[in-house]
Amino acid sequence: MNLIWQGIIEAFQLLIHGNREMLRIAALSLEVSLGATAVSLVLGIGAGTAIGLNKFTGRKFIISLVNTGMGLPPVVVGLVVMIFLWRGGPLGFLHILFTPIAMAIAQVIISFPIITGFTSASIQQLDSKLRFQILALGASRFQIIWLVLKETRLPLLAAVMAGFGGIISEVGASTMVGGNIMDQTRVLTTAIVMEAGKGDFGLAIALSVILMILVYAVNLLLTMIQQRNKAQ
């Protein structure tokens, strides 16, 4: 119990005094996860809309694949990405293993099914008469998609938050493809595991507090957008 209390006190001391390395680790966490969320946002909303709005053969099968992807273990993704990117692997010539780019790629793969699944489910839930109504008013294909997305803003942003939350708190894949290299690929989650493994619990708790603050801040932003007053 004493150790936990000591750890928390040390955490606050570290946070107040600031620490260049901690800031750098936090900044890299945000960069990689926000960047990956942005990419999988574009890809995921696009794919989810395509699946949700169109009827085609094998649609149920595709949706089942996407839903399986939502439950894909991140560490398995990390292992597969690492095998593809290492020397002698199919993409080894890119030389991006142990770089933030590799971490972002793994995180895109993890979050893409989540966003796609949520998007297609929320679009399917819309009243089908809505689309006919929009068509009747003379909307182009692009306008239909845009209006449908506006209608599903609440679950869409929930999807983005789910995707972001999943990948910024991810540690297994980030360790494998990033290597937890100081000043290069060390992010908050991998640093927490490492510091706890070294017995530096004060630092581990401090990093955990920073991580929670960052996750909360980003989700606060997204929630504000999500909950914007519809009647404008």
Partner 1 sequence: MKRLIAPVLRTLIVTAVLLSLIGSLLGCGTTVSPVTTIVTGPATTVTVTPTQTAGVPATTVTVTPTQTAVAPSITTVTVSPTQTTTPKPVNPQLILATTTSTRDTGLLDVLIPMFQNQTGYQVKTVAVGSGAAIAMGQQGQADVLLVHMPDSELQLVQSGAGINRVLIMHNDFVIVGPASDPAGIKGMTDPVAAMKKIAMTQSLFVSRDDNSGTNGYELSLWAQLGNTYKGQNWYISTGQGMGATLIIASEKNGYTISDRGTYAAFQKSIASVLMVQNPAVMINPYHVIQVNPAKFSGINAAGAQAFSDFMVAPATQAVIGSYGLVTYGQALFIPDAGKTEASLGSK
* Binding region for partner 1 (CB under 8 A): 3, 19-21, 23-24, 27-28, 30-31, 34, 86-88, 92, 95, 98, 146, 150, 153, 179-184, 196-199, 201, 221, 225, 228, 232
| Cβ–Cβ < 8 Å for 115, 40 | yes
Task: Between 66 and 164, name the residue whose CB sits nearer to partner 1.
Answer: 164
Q: Which residue has the tokens 């030389």?
A: 95
Q: CB of residue 184 vs partner 1: minimum separation in angstroms?
A: 7
Task: Between 112 and 164, name the residue whose CB sits nearer to partner 1.
Answer: 164
Q: Please, what is the angle between helix 100-124 and helix 153-168, to 10°?
A: 150
Task: Between 98 and 118, name the residue whose CB sits nearer to partner 1.
Answer: 98
CA pair distance 71, 144, nearest whole angstrom: 31
Task: Between 6 and 64, name the residue whose CB sits nearer to partner 1.
Answer: 6
Task: Between 70 and 160, name the residue whose CB sits nearer to partner 1.
Answer: 160
CA pair distance 178, 218, nearest whole angstrom: 23
Q: CB of residue 179 vs partner 1: minimum separation in angstroms?
A: 4
Q: CB of residue 63 vs partner 1: minimum separation in angstroms?
A: 27
Lookup: tokens for 72: 């894909």
| Cβ–Cβ < 8 Å for 167, 111 | yes
CA pair distance 86, 64, nearest whole angstrom: 31
Q: CB of residue 21 vs partner 1: minimum separation in angstroms?
A: 5
CA pair distance 131, 147, nearest whole angstrom: 9
Q: CB of residue 143 vs partner 1: minimum separation in angstroms?
A: 9
| Cβ–Cβ < 8 Å for 214, 34 | no
